[in-house]
Amino acid sequence: MSTRYILSLFTCLLALTAISSSNAAPNGRVVGGADAAVGQFPHQVSLQRSDGSHTCGASIISETFIVTAAHCVVVGEGIEPYPPRFYQVRVGSIQRTIGGQLLKLKRIIVNKAYGDFHNDIALLELEKPLVFTKNIQPIELAEEEVPSGENVIISGWGRLSTNGPIPHRLQWNTLKALNAQECNEAIEMGYDSVICLAHNPDHGTCFGDSGGPATYKGKLVGLASFVYGGCGTTNPDGYAKVAYLREWIRANTGV
């Protein structure tokens, strides 16, 4: 049986560890992608360790809140986050190491129902509110399912392949949404909290893209969570479904 991989780059730099499907715990350059243009993804965030090393993607949803994957910020396989001082975020730049603004975190909120690839979401509260510009903008949250077969845009600074290099410039690609039945038939992950995105070989999500956005018609529909069998396989990639998690986000942010 194929295995699912967590997509947190920090985790992968420690060890590219596969998690068996029996005790799944989520794993993200965008494989086969293209360079993003300045201002193309103004909601995109690079979540970094305090030393400046990129670990995950994230998205701006308000002046004070950013959303990412839970597995990017939790200790081990639990639900307790690392202290906010361990992280920083870069906003307003398509380069993960320069440009835009570097900001500190005030608080990290992890969904208490997170585990086994479900509810893979966390909120990052900023120390100071953002000042929006043309390159720093919030993204609207989806409240409805993405129809099967529709194009979904993903973006991130994840590896170019399973053991490939990490790009400096933001990458993006177009994947196809699957419904729950199609997802279950493909990788046995047809759950309400997961949206599966199909792609051709040598395309898709990879390590370092975790927590990063999947968008449909300009709305945030998913957060990169895991790949199945490695990056760029014929298997669809798993994203936390924003529509399913919308009420939890609203309850914790008011957004």
pLDDT band at 19, cuts 50/70/90? very low
Catalytic residues: 71, 120, 210
CATH number for the region 44-138+246-253 comes to 2.40.10.10
Tens of pLDDT, residues 186-208:
999 999 999 999 999 999 999 99
- The DSSP line for the chain is ---EEE--HHHHHH---EE-GGG-------BT-EEPPTTS-TTEEEEEETTS-EEEEEEE-SSSEEEE-GGGTBSTTSSPBPPGGGEEEEES-SBSSSSSEEEEEEEEEE-TT-BTTBS--EEEEESS----BTTB---EEP-SPPPTT-EEEEEE---SSTT-PPPSB-EEEEEEE--HHHHHHHHS---TTEEEEE--TT-B--TT-TT-EEEETTEEEEEEEEEESSTTSSSPEEEEEHHHHHHHHHHHH--
- Judge if 4-36+140-243 and 44-138+246-253 fold alike in CATH terms: yes
CATH superfamily of 4-36+140-243: Trypsin-like serine proteases (2.40.10.10)
- pLDDT above 90 covers a percentage of the chain that reads 82
Task: Judge whether residue 22 has pLDDT over 90.
Answer: no
Domain boundaries, the chain: 4-36+140-243, 44-138+246-253
Quickly state the pLDDT bin for 60 (edges 50, 70, 90). Answer: very high
pLDDT band for position 244 (50/70/90)? very high
